[in-house]
Copies of this chain bind each other. A is one copy, B any other.
């Protein structure tokens, strides 16, 4: 019995968005499921000493160009957000709360958050926007509003990020396939070759 792939991402990560648009379909092609695990890159970068891509001299400007080009290359709609990067703990907390109640709804929510951010240019750090997206996928808006402020869900998100770090997650997207790490939307071809059982 094949284990699900583990898909780690930050809601503010353009490459995470690109992988999110492809990962379920790719896994399903090889009879695999995917666990989605939003994390907070800010916390992870503090632990590893890394800096957000777009703040690095030269690399930052290149990254902005590469986000757009990579999206086009993969055939995925992408509009550079006017506010970027954004804090994503509100979206991540809502995700985990939904996930524990309705996994399919949480998945739909995650995809909708990414599209809101990277296609519709909505401010997904705004709690009102997060709640509106939750409502649009059928969630109980009042319950989500209460949940995202609870100590329980804050601790849950902290634990998820700590667990990701323990597994070696240092960026977004980061995919574990039978324990093997694949970092970046640009590693999906290698992941696919692995899933297809190609010798390489």
Task: Enumerate chain A interface residues (CB-CB to B < 8 A).
Answer: 47-50, 56-59, 61-62, 65-66, 69-70, 72-73, 75, 165, 168-171, 181, 183-184, 186-187, 189-190, 193, 200
Q: Are A59 and B66 in contact (CB under 8 A)?
A: no
Query: Which residues of B are found within 8 Å of A189, using beta-carbon distances?
Result: 73, 189
A-B contact pairs, 10 of them (CB 8 A): A47-B57, A50-B59, A56-B170, A58-B169, A59-B171, A61-B168, A69-B190, A69-B200, A72-B200, A73-B200
Query: Which residues of B are found within 8 Å of A57, using beta-carbon distances?
Result: 47-49, 170
Distance, CA A70 to CA B58, complexed state (A): 25
Q: Are B181 and A70 in contact (CB under 8 A)?
A: no
Q: Are A56 and B49 in contact (CB under 8 A)?
A: yes
**Min C-beta distance of A110 to chain B, whole Å:** 24
Distance, CA A187 to CA B185, complexed state (A): 12
Number of copies: 2
Distance, CA A200 to CA B65, complexed state (A): 13
Q: Are A168 and B58 in contact (CB under 8 A)?
A: yes
Task: In the A-B complex, list the 10 residue pairs whose CB atoms are closest, starting with the nearest.
Answer: A58-B170, A72-B200, A186-B186, A48-B57, A59-B170, A73-B200, A73-B190, A58-B168, A48-B58, A62-B181
Query: Which residues of B are found within 8 Å of A181, using beta-carbon distances?
Result: 62, 65
Distance, CA A72 to CA B75, complexed state (A): 26
Query: Which residues of B are found within 8 Å of A58, using beta-carbon distances?
Result: 48, 165, 168-170
Q: Are A183 and B66 in contact (CB under 8 A)?
A: yes
Query: Which residues of B are found within 8 Å of A50, using beta-carbon distances?
Result: 56, 59
Q: Can you name 11 extra interface pairs (CB under 8 A) apart from A48-B57, A48-B59, A186-B187?
A: A49-B57, A56-B170, A57-B170, A59-B170, A59-B171, A61-B168, A66-B187, A70-B190, A73-B189, A184-B186, A189-B189
Q: Which residue of B lies closest to A169 (CB)?
A: B58
Distance, CA A165 to CA B58, complexed state (A): 9
